[in-house]
Amino acid sequence: MNTAIIVDDEQNLVDYLADKLARLWPELEVLGTANNGRQALALVKEEQPDVAFLDIHMPGLSGLQIAEALPQDTKVVFVTAFDQFAVEAFERSAVDYLLKPVSDSRLQTCISRLKTMDRQNREELVKLLKGLVPQEQNYLRWIRTGLDDTTHLVSTDEVVYFKADQKYTSVFTPTNEYLVRKSIKDLEDELDPAQFWRIHRGMIVRVDQIESARRDLRGRYTLTLRERDETLRSSATYGHLFKQM
């Protein structure tokens, strides 16, 4: 076992690690380096290295995603500056990782472990990565608003609720109101259903903006909002949404 690749979007850090490895593990041959996910995948395919040092945050594919695509025999060492969530997961499953800036002593420990380790437990690694790699979601994140020539962008994170306005839709944020050239039905299809609820034929509300829901005798709910003063009325058809509130 004596070949490796280093993947980091910051060339300085690739050089830094390569330099340290050259001193602490002279027989190791660094076959190549890559600065983004796409290059890394090509490199892996071409070189079939024994060890891959992977930065977690990179443009394109993340280090975690690259690890999933590695050949069975390649051992993975993750390198990260600060990633509490991932580091805790690595700790739990004994996956090797290095924290930047990489110290000589920590790298030495990692090297001896790599040398003595037969092979990494692939299944465990893949299982771990499944939990860490964010699932691809293509929900709407930016809304183009405005009816004249100037379009403004509004992030869906800022929206409190949407209200149908004839064939257009009004968008309400804590401080503003905009108009979108889209029907409320089209918007509903594009929004994340975990974050936005349709509460009425003509209304969609952001779930975490709902402060309270009060039921009346006819099964409709009156909603108060966290960051807007008006109250919204749900129709009875959507009452089931609030049962658990």
What is the SS3 assignment for 152?
A: strand
Q: What phi and psi values does residue 235 have, to the nearest 5 degrees?
A: -90, 160
Q: Is 38 in the site for other proteins (CB under 8 A)?
A: yes
Under the binding rule (CB under 8 A), the answer on residue 137 touching other proteins is: yes
Interface residue with other proteins, options 109, 231, 236, 245 (CB under 8 A): 231
Closest CA to 163 of 192, 191, 139, 199: 199
Cα–Cα separations (whole angstroms), residue 37 to 42, 48, 126, 143, 245: 9, 16, 18, 29, 43
Binding window for other proteins (CB under 8 A); candidates: 24-32, 117-125, 156-164, 197-205: 156-164
CA distance 169 to 225: 19
Structure tokens at 90: 């690595």
φ, ψ of residue 185 to 5 degrees: the values are -65, -45
Q: Binding segment for other proteins among 11-19, 89-97, 195-203, 234-242 (CB under 8 A)?
A: 11-19
Site string for other proteins, 95-134 (x = CB under 8 A): ----xxxx-------------------------------x
Residue 13 engages other proteins in binding (rule: CB under 8 A)? yes
Pick the binder of other proteins from 31, 32, 60, 213 (CB under 8 A): 60
Q: At closest approach, how far in Å is the CB of 25 from other proteins?
A: 18
- Which of residues 136, 166, 240, 244 is near other proteins by CB under 8 A? 136
Three-state secondary structure string covering 55-124: ECCCCCCCHHHHHHCCCCCCEEEEEECCCHHHHHHHHHHCCCEEECCCCHHHHHHHHHHHHHCCCCCHHH
Select the residue interacting with other proteins from 109, 216, 219, 236 (CB under 8 A): 216
Among 72, 116, 166, 175, binds other proteins (CB under 8 A): 175
Phi/psi of residue 91, each to 5°?
A: -55, -50
Per-residue DSSP letter, 183: -
Which positions from 180 through 209 interact with other proteins, judged by CB under 8 A?
none
Where on the chain is the footprint of other proteins (CB under 8 A)? 9-13, 15-16, 19, 36, 38, 57, 59-60, 81-83, 99-102, 134, 136-137, 141-142, 144, 150-158, 173-175, 216-218, 222, 227, 231
